[in-house]
Amino acid sequence: MVEVLNDMKATAERHEQGVEFDLFFHFAIAEATKNPLLRRVIKTLDNMMHQTFLVNRTEMYSDPKTAERILGEHQVILDAILAGDPAAAREGMLRHLSHVELGLTNN
């Protein structure tokens, strides 16, 4: 997850490649849970998520403040996971998904 987030930060300006790393980050979290149902759901949604993220991420990342916020939200989630704090990780993920949903509905 650390490596994927670093790659995502390094490619923030290259939206299509950044989409891949954004998805990889979420997939890495799903894998880390060792929850077979969650892993299967994420893999099932892969294609749909990729197309949705590719179209909308370009718009969301074109605003440097939004891009910084998204990367910061991912960092909060990762920090909570690394600290072994599932409540903080859950809260960070819920906040992130809420912001992403707002971004998708406003575009």
pLDDT bin (cut points 50, 70, 90) of residue 3 is confident
pLDDT of residue 4: 84
3-state helix, strand, coil in the chain (%, to 5): 90, 0, 10
pLDDT of residue 76: 97
pLDDT at 54 over 60: yes
Measure the CA–CA gap between 35 and 9, rounded to whole angstroms: 27
Return the structure tokens found at 38.
């969650």
pLDDT of residue 58: 66
**Over the chain, what is the mean pLDDT?**
81
pLDDT of residue 36: 93
Q: Which domain holds residue 68?
A: 2-106
pLDDT of residue 72: 93
What lies within 8 Å, CB to CB, of 39 at 6+ separation is 30, 31, 33
Give the count of domains, the chain.
1
What lies within 8 Å, CB to CB, of 60 at 6+ separation is 66, 67, 70, 100, 103, 107
Percent pLDDT > 90 in the chain is 25
pLDDT bin (cut points 50, 70, 90) of residue 50 is low
Closest CA to 103 of 63, 43, 47: 63
User: Could you tell me the pTM of the whole model?
Assistant: 0.77
What lies within 8 Å, CB to CB, of 41 at 6+ separation is 30
